[in-house]
Amino acid sequence: MYETHYQFKAQPFTLLPDPGFLYLGAKHKMALSLLEYGLANGSAFIIITGEPGTGKTTLLNQLLDETRHPWTIGVLSNTHAGFGGLLPWIATAFDMPTADKSETELFQDFSRFLERERSAGRRVLLIVDEAQNIGTTMLEELRLLSNLNDGRRRSLQIVLSGQLGLRDFLKGPGMVQLAQRIGVEYVLDALSEDETIAYIMHRLQVSGRTTPLFTTSACRSVFRLSGGIPRLINQLCDHALVYGFAKQSVYITARVVLDAAAARDRHAMFPFKVSPESLEVSPTELEEEAEEVRSFHARNEQPSDIVQTTDEGKELARTVVQDSAALYDEAIALKEAGHFEQAIILFDRLAEQEFWYVKALAKKGLCLKAMGRFDEAITALQSALSRGPASEDDRTALEYLLGRIFEDAGKPAEAVDLYQQLQQDGLPYRDVAVRLDRLGHARKNGRVTGSTTTSWLGSLFKKYGQASRRERPQRFPTFK
């Protein structure tokens, strides 16, 4: 309805848990990092809980998008105590036949299935969404299934995602043995006001909007009404866009948001955190908003968001954005919106400065990777590593990212060299171990050819050394 009017390529506030729209604020970034950490380190149970609508399912979808072999993944959604026995549903999730089979036969089949996956070098991941509905009996069934791990190598891992009531179950009587097997647990909170503003801007950019649309006051009103719950934010922003379109509003102001909220609140089953009628926009806020709208008009007359051609883009970067930090933010916005060519122009400009060289080349490499230009991405990452990152954590992140690009480029031997170097200090890093297992299995079967980067790696690590890595705690990549 409003997509053309507001220059969207996609609906920005869909309620579907689409990982393409995932905003990684501090809380969601921590949750995703802990999920990845739990998988890489073989935790038997990984628990993520939060209020309805905080983005748990979207995070799980992102995890599934990022996860590749050697995982075999089964998902149980909308679980409830009326399921009966859990084994038939788990078997179905892994495409195992269940017709005319007893619980005992299904248990034996699942045990053999785990053994086959273990022999093939794969781990099995079972994700149970809305797990607060399954009750203590089924949670005990899951604990018994976790006993099928052989004690030497974890072959079955279970992720439980649910509302806060799941934590009450796990604290209840008879759940001690399961609770003791939880390797990672995280409670996903609502977004703060600043995160809500960034969340709205992020989704607008992902949807293709290249100029400002929601005023800061409008975003603050959204936060007050929604309490920072992403699902409620999406609902309210979508209603505001419909309301704004009906009024042919150029921008979404606080007044548009409050009017849309009042109209929705009269008919919706679930109310906002506060009543729209209780919110007032102060004269100071109205004055600030009016000034912001004037700046929107000025920016729209001379847009700097999208670079049309390479030459024009370079000139625009020189004349419009002088401050390096602002230039970097603009390049990141272009990258997140999928405008990779334009973002690369700005990252190249930043790379001319010593301070920005490594970070700009890392981001350029990610753009090239997203475009499928793997050889150029490899060159960019190697250049960043050769210059020497500011910290060992950044170096590790670059090495891991380069290994992933080698894999995508069909160069597994080079990836093995990097992953083995990452393991020299004896500390687990993300999923390096499982990637080495898979690539090592491929090498044994003759599918991996000799490396062409050993000399480059050798000279690089000889130059910078590894002594400082030995005492460094586990970290996650900063170049995402």
Residue 468 pLDDT grade (very low, low, confident, very high; cuts 50, 70, 90): very low
Instruction: Say if residue 440's pLDDT is above 80.
Output: no
- Whether the CB-CB separation of 206 and 19 falls below 8 Å is answered with no
How far is residue 121's CA from residue 115's CA, in Å, rounded to a whole number? 10
Per-residue pLDDT at 443: 57
Is 319 buried (19+), middle (13-18) or exposed (0-12) by CB count in 10 A?
Answer: exposed
How far is residue 359's CA from residue 369's CA, in Å, rounded to a whole number? 15
Please confirm whether the linkage preceding 70 is cis (ω < 30° from 0).
yes
**Least confidently predicted of 21-35, 218-232, 340-354:** 340-354
Per-residue pLDDT at 8: 92
Per-residue pLDDT at 480: 43
How far is residue 367's CA from residue 346's CA, in Å, rounded to a whole number? 12
Share of the chain above pLDDT 90, in %: 21
Per-residue pLDDT at 240: 92
Listed in sequence order, the residues at least 6 apart from 71 whose beta carbon sits closer than 8 Å to its beta carbon are 39, 122, 123, 124, 125
Mean of the per-residue pLDDT values for the chain?
79
Q: What is the pLDDT of residues 305-356, one digit of tens each?
A: 333 333 443 343 333 333 467 777 778 887 887 888 888 888 887 787 766 7
Give the C-alpha distances (Å, rounded to integers) separating 161 from 35, 46, 78, 157, 234: 11, 8, 11, 13, 21
Listed in sequence order, the residues at least 6 apart from 2 whose beta carbon sits closer than 8 Å to its beta carbon are 8, 241, 242, 244, 245
| Average confidence (pLDDT) over 438-443 | 68
The per-residue b/e assignment along 1-27, b for 16 or more CB within 10 angstroms, e otherwise, is ebeeebebeebbbeeebebebbbbbeb
Higher pLDDT, 460 or 445: 445
Per-residue pLDDT at 226: 92
Query: Hey, what's the torsion of the CAs at 175, 145, 79, 84, to 10 degrees?
Result: -100
- Whether the CB-CB separation of 215 and 251 falls below 8 Å is answered with yes
Q: What is the pLDDT of residues 172-194, one digit of tens each?
A: 878 888 888 899 999 999 999 99
Q: What is the pLDDT of residues 96-137, one digit of tens each?
A: 988 888 888 999 999 999 888 888 888 899 999 888 888 778
pTM, full prediction: 0.59
Higher pLDDT, 20 or 476: 20
Q: What is the pLDDT of residues 53-93, one digit of tens each?
A: 898 888 888 887 776 657 888 888 877 666 667 888 888 88
Q: What is the pLDDT of residues 244-255, one digit of tens each?
A: 888 888 899 999
Neighbouring-strand partners of residue 158: 45, 126
Q: Three-state DSSP class for 156?
A: strand
Residue 388 pLDDT grade (very low, low, confident, very high; cuts 50, 70, 90): low
How far is residue 235's CA from residue 265's CA, in Å, rounded to a whole number? 11
| Average confidence (pLDDT) over 418-445 | 72
Residue 471 pLDDT grade (very low, low, confident, very high; cuts 50, 70, 90): very low
Total residue count of the chain as it appears in this document:
480
Per-residue pLDDT at 299: 67
Q: What is the DSSP letter of 335?
A: H
Instruction: Say if residue 442's pLDDT is above 50.
Output: yes
How far is residue 121's CA from residue 453's CA, in Å, rounded to a whole number? 26
